[in-house]
Amino acid sequence: MVVLQMATRRTMSSILNRSLGLLGGRSAVLASGIQTFGTAAALEEPITPPVQVNYTKLLINGQFVDSASGKTFPTLDPRTGEVIAHVSEGDAEDINRAVSAARKAFDEGPWPKMTGYARSRILNRFADLVEEHNDELAALETWDNGKPYEQSAQSEIPTFCRLFRYYAGWADKIHGLVVPADSSHHVQVLHEPIGVAGQIIPWNFPLLMFAWKVGPALACGNTIVLKTAEQTPLTALYAAKLLHEAGLPDGVLNVISGYGPTAGAALASHMDVDKLAFTGSTETGKIVLELAAKSNLKPVTLELGGKSPMIIFDDADVDKAVELAHFALFFNQGQCCCAGSRTFVHEQVYDEFVEKAKARALRRVVGDPFKKGVEQGPQIDDEQFNKVMRYIRSGVGSGATLVSGGDRIGNKGYYIQPTIFSNVKDEMEIAKDEIFGPVQSILKFKDIDEVIRRANASHYGLAAGVFTSNIDKANTLTRALRAGTIWINCFDVFDAAIPFGGYKMSGHGREKGIDSLKNYLQIKAVVTPLKNPAWL
């Protein structure tokens, strides 16, 4: 069995190799002049981002406009907490304007009436433009979000382009069926665009979530009102501008920056929105679903939280397992809905694993995300920073052993030390709740039946990882674990064709792949009598 296959694309290899600890040892890191997490790396003077902020207004009907109220809100640099730019603050009136534009573009405009091939050419042209502007988009993403620039530029932007080319390929291949009937009737099953799609995206992967939502909706011929996360509005506005340069008609994609209780709630409850898609926390997902139901009962796709188990068996190569589990949890500052945040380790290798996991955490490079070689930047904002620190205090208070980290780095920005707890019990908060930060909880198990039961004892069911050299164990786990994605001897392998979504309170529906198209299509049966048919 292949023990470690992190990804197959060359565009992702440098980032994933770094995540897998192939930079060399602690001495190599220190020799490069980059400090490890236990030093003052985050206290260095922040690097000036190599990009200008040009788009801060709302995008409605193809034009950048001020909000109806004239209000703006600040978007902050997570490295310092300082203001990057002031962005127009959309509310219910702006949502109404955007929905009206989207409705007119769907009912009267050219987009749904275009051939699938014509739509695919625009989407492919857009991917080409994004590639041309790779560095600017990557810098904006890192500046607004705090993730390492190398991750943005070398992994996420190329994946963004691949996703849009994938959906461009589907645009002219969406078709219905002709089905036989038990009588003299011609029966067609049509797959039609659903109409105006409302979409709400999160702050942890702003551009990738833009692609996951916008790509399939446009391929199917729909129009969109997209609400960005208030923490990270900048890259969606830039990308939307490029999409219009590629030839997207006015009104097809409208982008509203604003807050959840105002703009988000207005979109979720709007009577003229035909479909809603939301990615975010489970708590907010419940509110979104309720608003959709109480308005026009619009269908809702939900990609929500997770508390994914990462299961390490005693037959595993411990060194490789440590690297994989480290990547599964700490990637993107731990701000991943599918993070392997419950690391279950077999009792026979538990102590060795904990010591090596500690050593790997101490080698993790934390600092300014614009600095080459940095693996971990700051958390997104003070709210998330304080939430993570509260969970660290909870872990200590509940009796878990703090193996490494546990504190902030510096006194400016939202940097947190890579933190590991051992001797974690299932009933502890850090083992049950989605922390969404760089906190690894390592739990001990004895046998396969026990770990299946404990791994499934969660309200969540988004993903799981299994590390073993035994194919029988792997096959048993893939069928027994109640989660939407099971990674065997790998983690966070995302491909445009692989569906992603959860069981239980991790959501409804699937993103990516052919299944995502179903979210944006309506099914219609057309039945016509046949007079004296030659055949049935």
User: Looking at the chain, how many residues does it have?
Assistant: 536
Take residue 18 and report the two structure tokens written for it: 């770094």
Q: How many helices (H) and strands (E) does the chain have?
A: 18, 22
Indicate the pLDDT class of residue 33, thresholds 50, 70 and 90.
very low
Rg of the chain in Å (alpha carbons) = 24
Q: Which helix (H) or strand (E) holds 165?
A: helix 157-170
Rounded mean pLDDT of 245-265?
98
Residue 132: burial class (beta carbons within 10 Å; 0-12, 13-18, 19+): exposed
Q: Is the pLDDT of residue 22 over 50?
A: no
Indicate the pLDDT class of residue 37, thresholds 50, 70 and 90.
low
pLDDT at res. 44: 79
Please count the CA atoms within 13 angstroms of the CA of 393 that sit on its side-chain side.
Answer: 7
Per the CB < 8 A criterion, the answer to whether 531 and 488 are in contact is: no
| Helical packing angle, 116-132 and 234-245, nearest 10° | 120
Q: How far is CA 525 from CA 6, 177, 220, 532, in A?
A: 44, 9, 18, 22
Tokens 């039609």 belong to: 192
pLDDT at res. 30: 31
pLDDT at res. 9: 36
Nearest Cα to 200, choosing from 283, 258, 130? 258
pLDDT at res. 447: 98
Q: Is the pLDDT of residue 479 over 60?
A: yes
Q: pLDDT tens digits for 417-428?
A: 999 999 999 999
Q: pLDDT tens digits for 169-205?
A: 999 999 999 999 999 999 999 999 999 999 999 999 9
Per the CB < 8 A criterion, the answer to whether 418 and 376 are in contact is: yes
pLDDT at res. 287: 98
Q: Is the pLDDT of residue 23 over 80?
A: no
Rounded mean pLDDT of 346-360?
98
Per the CB < 8 A criterion, the answer to whether 87 and 235 are in contact is: no
Give the whole-angstrom CA distance, residue 148 versus residue 144: 11
| Bridge partners, 85 (sequence order) | 75
Adjacency order of strands within the sheet including 419-422 = 401-404, 419-422, 439-445, 342-346, 309-312, 463-467, 485-488
pLDDT at res. 121: 98
Give the whole-angstrom CA distance, residue 140 versus residue 287: 30
Q: Dihedral sign, CA of 479, 482, 484, 490?
A: negative
Tokens 């105006």 belong to: 196
pLDDT at res. 2: 33
Per the CB < 8 A criterion, the answer to whether 509 and 519 are in contact is: yes
Rounded mean pLDDT of 461-471?
98
Give the whole-angstrom CA distance, residue 522 versus residue 236: 27
Rounded mean pLDDT of 274-303?
98
Nearest Cα to 523, choosing from 102, 175, 172? 175
Q: pLDDT tens digits for 322-341?
A: 999 999 999 999 999 999 99
Nearest Cα to 215, choosing from 165, 275, 279, 273? 165
Q: How far is CA 106 from CA 94, 296, 298, 523, in A?
A: 18, 18, 17, 17
Give the whole-angstrom CA distance, residue 348 versus residue 353: 10
What SS3 state is found at 77? coil
Q: Is the pLDDT of residue 60 over 60?
A: yes
CA 76 to chain centre: 20
Percent of the chain at pLDDT exceeding 90: 91
Give the whole-angstrom CA distance, residue 304 versus residue 82: 29
Give the whole-angstrom CA distance, residue 123 versus residue 211: 11
pLDDT at res. 14: 37
Give the whole-angstrom CA distance, residue 530 versus residue 511: 40
pLDDT at res. 11: 38
Q: pLDDT tens digits for 309-320?
A: 999 999 999 999
Give the whole-angstrom CA distance, residue 202 versus residue 233: 10
Residue 399: burial class (beta carbons within 10 Å; 0-12, 13-18, 19+): exposed
Per the CB < 8 A criterion, the answer to whether 20 and 6 are in contact is: yes
Taking residue 272's Cβ as centre, other Cβ atoms within 10 Å add up to 16
- C-alpha torsion angle, residues 266, 268, 273, 274 (rounded to 10): -170
303 is a catalytic site residue:
yes
Strands 275-279, 419-422: pairing kind:
unpaired
- Catalytic annotation, pick one of 136, 150, 230, 303: 303
Tokens 């034009």 belong to: 63
Q: What is the overall mean pLDDT for the chain? A: 93
SS (H, E, C) 55-122: CCCEEECCEEECCCCCCEEEEECCCCCCEEEEEECECHHHHHHHHHHHHHHHHCCCCCCCCHHHHHHH
Give the whole-angstrom CA distance, residue 94 versus residue 258: 10
The C-alpha angle with vertex 508 and arms to 503 and 513, in degrees rounded to 5, equals: 95
Per the CB < 8 A criterion, the answer to whether 4 and 19 are in contact is: no
Taking residue 396's Cβ as centre, other Cβ atoms within 10 Å add up to 14
Take residue 259 and report the two structure tokens written for it: 């807050």
pLDDT at res. 41: 53
| Bridge partners, 64 (sequence order) | 59
Take residue 352 and report the two structure tokens written for it: 């060795």
Give the whole-angstrom CA distance, residue 365 versus residue 331: 12
Give the whole-angstrom CA distance, residue 292 versus residue 158: 34
Q: Which helix (H) or strand (E) holds 92?
A: helix 92-107
Indicate the pLDDT class of residue 302, thresholds 50, 70 and 90.
very high
